[in-house]
Amino acid sequence: MVTQVTNFGRSGLADWLVQRATAVIMLAYLVFMVGYLVSNPDLTFDQWKALFDQTWMAAFSTATLLAIVAHAWIGLWAVSTDYMTTRMMGAKATVVRLAFQAGYSIILFYYLVWGIKILWG
């Protein structure tokens, strides 16, 4: 069985399950936010701030942020290993793929730290 680097030695089934679980978390957040915005058509900044000042909302937002990062990591890793390796041949493909993976790893980490700082700062 081929193991994947995305989750340190587990099978591709684990990646698939993580993708589905993170999609459910993101969908729940989207449904909540759309419902909140529709049910408060005259939303003020003070109401918006009061919502995000609650600990449960910061935790829900953080869980969604982590889900987005995990979802993006697995998706981009799969795309980069499938298409950047098979479409290009040779050592050049490996260099391009690794550079791409390093680049989006840095970007995802930056967005994660930035989001946590915004939510809990």
* Residues tagged in the binding site annotation for heme: 71
* Residues tagged in the binding site annotation: 71, 83
The token pair that represents 38 in the structure block: 């529709």
For the stretch 52-64, what's the b/e string if a residue is b when 16 or more beta carbons lie within 10 angstroms of its beta carbon?
A: eeeeeebebbeeb
Cβ atoms of 74 and 102 within 8 Å: the answer is no
Distance of alpha carbon 19 from alpha carbon 1, whole angstroms: 20
Distance of alpha carbon 44 from alpha carbon 2, whole angstroms: 52
| Closest by Cα among 101, 92, 91 to 4 | 101
The token pair that represents 79 in the structure block: 């795309």
The token pair that represents 44 in the structure block: 């003020």
* Residues tagged in the binding site annotation for a ubiquinone: 83
